[in-house]
């Protein structure tokens, strides 16, 4: 899909296609549609980043709270978004043994108790061992540092989802 195809989308088509590049935050793609025409994919990413950085600390925490736990309830009950399911699967979260599931549950709970938002990491760029290690390490951060670090992960997830849509869009979506 080239950028002229993206720029020709109605807002409904655009939100349908890009609405989940930031997990469960279709408002973000819906908002940046106002900035068409986009020069390229980097320009779309820049507008998304601008939107995210314009939010207050609580707004950024709002984005994080729209994310599911890794190897958590939504994975067990089959209620993950398609994108999250694929990412968690790729990072090995769907094939944990029962001890690993319990460990993830304990670490996720500690993290949420400490920060008031879930542990967010770009699962496509980390394997199972990385995730457990980083979750344990990041538990030691203070809330402000951890919020910023998690938002950087949101931007990595978003970038990979965007590229995935635009590349696969050539064959399937449009």
Residues 37-56 vs a second copy: string with x where CB under 8 A? --------------x--xxx
**Distance in Å, CB of 115 to a second copy, minimum:** 10
- b/e for 75-89, b at 16 or more Cβ within 10 A? beeeebeebbbbbbe
Q: Is 117 an interacting residue with respect to a second copy (CB under 8 A)?
A: yes
Using the rule CB under 8 A, which residue among 6, 28, 41, 150 binds a second copy? 28
**Interface pick for a second copy out of 5, 7, 8, 35 (rule CB under 8 A):** 35
Residue 59 found at the interface with a second copy (CB under 8 A): yes
Question: What's the longest Cα–Cα distance across the chain?
Answer: 50
CB closer to a second copy out of 15 and 93: 15
* Chain contacts with a second copy (rule: CB under 8 A): 10-12, 15, 24-35, 51, 54-59, 61-66, 112, 116-117
């Amino acid at each position: 899909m080239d950028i002229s195809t993206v720029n020709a989308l109605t807002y409904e088509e655009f939100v349908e296609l890009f609405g989940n590049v930031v997990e469960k935050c279709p408002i973000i793609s819906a908002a940046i549609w106002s900035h068409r025409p986009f020069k390229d994919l980097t320009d779309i990413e820049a507008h998304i980043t601008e939107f995210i950085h314009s939010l207050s600390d609580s707004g950024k925490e709002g984005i994080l709270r729209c994310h599911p736990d890794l190897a958590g309830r939504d994975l067990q009950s089959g209620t993950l978004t398609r994108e999250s399911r694929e990412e968690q699967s790729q990072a090995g979260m769907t094939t944990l043994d029962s001890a690993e599931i319990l460990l993830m549950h304990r670490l996720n709970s500690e993290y949420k108790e400490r920060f008031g938002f879930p542990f967010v990491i770009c699962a496509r760029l980390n394997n199972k061992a990385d995730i457990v290690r980083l979750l344990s390490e990041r538990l030691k951060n203070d809330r402000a540092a951890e919020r910023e670090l998690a938002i950087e992960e949101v931007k990595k997830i978003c970038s990979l989802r965007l590229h995935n849509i635009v590349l696969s869009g050539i064959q399937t979506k449009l």
